[in-house]
Amino acid sequence: MQTVRVALAQIAPKLGDLKSNFEIHLDAVALARRKKAHVVVFPELSLTGYVLRDQVPEVALSREAPLFRKLLRASAQIDMVVGFAEETQGHRFHNAAAYLSKGRVLHIHRKIYLPTYGMFDEGRDFAAGDLVRAFETPRGPAGILICEDAWHPTCAWLLVQDGAEILIAPSSGPTRGAKPGRGITSLTVWHDLLRTTAQFQTSFVVYVNRVGYEDGLNFGGGSAALDPFGRIVASLPGLSEGMTVAELDVEVLRRARTAYPLLRDENLELVHREIARIRQERFQVPDPLDMVFLQEPAAPRRKAR
């Protein structure tokens, strides 16, 4: 990894308005370049808005879509992480985030955990992703977790085991009330999660949450970048649009992983063995050794003389 300047673009997308949202992205890209950032990160579904419901097929983009190609051209001078509704082969629709660099797609992450509790109903509109992969960027290895994915610790753990040193978490997190002296409750909970993730994975974490209103939901903002010690490097306030730049210093990563060699000491063989056992017990999967014995042909009986 090299030291990298990351712009956190806390924007308010307009629901279903691809053209307007594209212009918002271009304005943010121009501002990020003026701030000398190397990469600009946008929130979850930044191109479309969040509460899409039946609009998903209308606003979904494939890699060949003209608007997606315009985004690629915009990434010629600065890397971008963009949230969008993706249409894939077989007309499957995903809540996705793409890392674009120098006119190329370096990686697309499809949201794995689609919440269907409380105010959320993403499982109705999108197909779940099924891959967790780190990928190389011009500044080093990274991984993407979209909102709810970050609440499942195995996702961050797998990305770091796969080599990621920066975890990027675009979000469309609504507010859930406030408490005196604590501000917006949901932001406090998010920041606790991000701090724990950064510390236990000894990795940088970049969280970019949107703001604005949609269908009765008020999105909270509160974007932040944290270092591998869990310290906030840069942050934005709740509820209002804005941009800040976080400098992610490679020497801080080195110091954290030297002081807390959690990644070095992880026992992957133990995890593999115990996960296999739990999976077998939970889903009543036959033991592989039992299957070998079942498949072996019985030895021929000797004829009695």
Query: Which residues are marked as active site?
Result: 44, 111, 147
Residue 75, strand partner residues: none
How far apart, in whole angstroms, are the C-alpha atoms of residue 126 and residue 171?
Answer: 16
What amino acid occupies position 133? R
How far apart, in whole angstroms, are the C-alpha atoms of residue 93 and residue 86?
Answer: 5
Residue 115: exposure state from Cβ atoms within 10 A (0-12, 13-18, ≥19): middle
224: three-class secondary structure by DSSP: strand
Q: Which tokens go with 229?
A: 């010690």
206: three-class secondary structure by DSSP: strand
How far apart, in whole angstroms, are the C-alpha atoms of residue 247 and residue 7?
Answer: 9
What amino acid occupies position 228? P
Interstrand relation of 92-101 and 104-110 (parallel, antiparallel or unpaired)? antiparallel
Residue 266: which residues within 8 A CB-CB, separation 6 or more? 161
CB 97 within 8 A of CB 170: yes
What amino acid occupies position 117? Y
Residue 53: exposure state from Cβ atoms within 10 A (0-12, 13-18, ≥19): exposed
Alpha carbon 166 to its chain centroid, in Å, reads 11
